[in-house]
Amino acid sequence: MRIIPAIDIIEGKCVRLSKGDYDTKKIYNENPLEVAKSFEEHGIQYLHLVDLDGAKSSRIVNYKVLEQIASKTSLKIDFGGGLKSDSDLKIAFESGANQITGGSIAIKQPKVFKKWIQQYGADKIILGADAMNEKVAISGWLEESKEEVIPFIQNYQKEGIQYVICTDISKDGMLEGPSFELYKRILDSDLSNRAESRLKLIASGGISTFNELPKLAELGCEGTIIGKAIYEGRITLKQLENYIVNK
């Protein structure tokens, strides 16, 4: 299972929120590049970079941070937040993103999102299926849609999507443990019966202790995004380094 630390950006700074609430913002570092380099120094190869200003304003905002991290580290970055147009996507990839994550656009402009899957390929486009009460949440989690999360994922699997990041918003930033049950049901509902196109589910939200990681791997999660647990010292970079080396 891939270990994917998260850096969330507001006004160019590394922050974390609780349950996606912008009023709970806590700044952990003024320099996201410094944070990214510390991940890289511990053998981490992947990064989940979220433009929270972009998510709120429905257009890419913090692409300079992406550009800086991509050019000064070798981390493979998936980038999300506010990607709503072809030009946003172009900026993200030109700034160094390896993959992009689309959530709101997959609900609000499905034709555009499906076109991206066709144009860039399923290895470049991640479906963001963030859920509150198992309904997909959009616009930086400020809105709840009527879409149920599992049928939503299945519909996009039919369009070729393989990578899915699922965050249970009620767990995000709360350090109370991830949604094992929800992830199990998502993986059990995988429409693919071929190994090469099997759903690559990336767990996100609520990770609080190192011991939860092997459980997520056992469930079949392809990756896990870890945020606040790292910043609050619940999981150390050394533990993650050892996990990566020994897996």
Which tens digits make up the pLDDT trace of 126-172?
999 988 888 887 765 556 678 899 999 999 999 999 999 998 887 76
Average predicted confidence (pLDDT) for the chain: 92
Written as one letter, the residue type at 209 is: T
For residue 4, give Cα distances in angstroms to 7, 16, 36.
10, 15, 11
Tokens of 4: 């994917």
By the 8 A CB rule, do 130 and 137 touch? Answer: yes
| C-alpha–C-alpha distance, residues 45 and 75, integer Å | 5
b/e per residue 139-156 (b: at least 16 CB within 10 A): bbbeeebebebbebbbeb
- Residue 130 bears catalytic tag: yes
| C-alpha–C-alpha distance, residues 118 and 110, integer Å | 12
> What's residue 144's pLDDT?
65
| C-alpha–C-alpha distance, residues 28 and 103, integer Å | 25
| C-alpha–C-alpha distance, residues 205 and 129, integer Å | 12
By the 8 A CB rule, do 25 and 224 touch? Answer: no
> What's residue 139's pLDDT?
60
| 16 half-sphere exposure, CB direction, 13 A CA radius | 19
Domain that holds residue 22: 2-246
- Number of domain units in the chain: 1
CATH number at residue 87: 3.20.20.70
Opening angle at CA 61, ends 57 and 63, nearest 5: 155
> What's residue 241's pLDDT?
97
- Which parts of the chain sit beneath pLDDT 50? none
Stated pTM of the model = 0.93
| Catalytic annotation, pick one of 53, 88, 130, 168 | 130
Place of tokens 């459980």: 215
| C-alpha–C-alpha distance, residues 71 and 10, integer Å | 20
Place of tokens 């390896």: 98
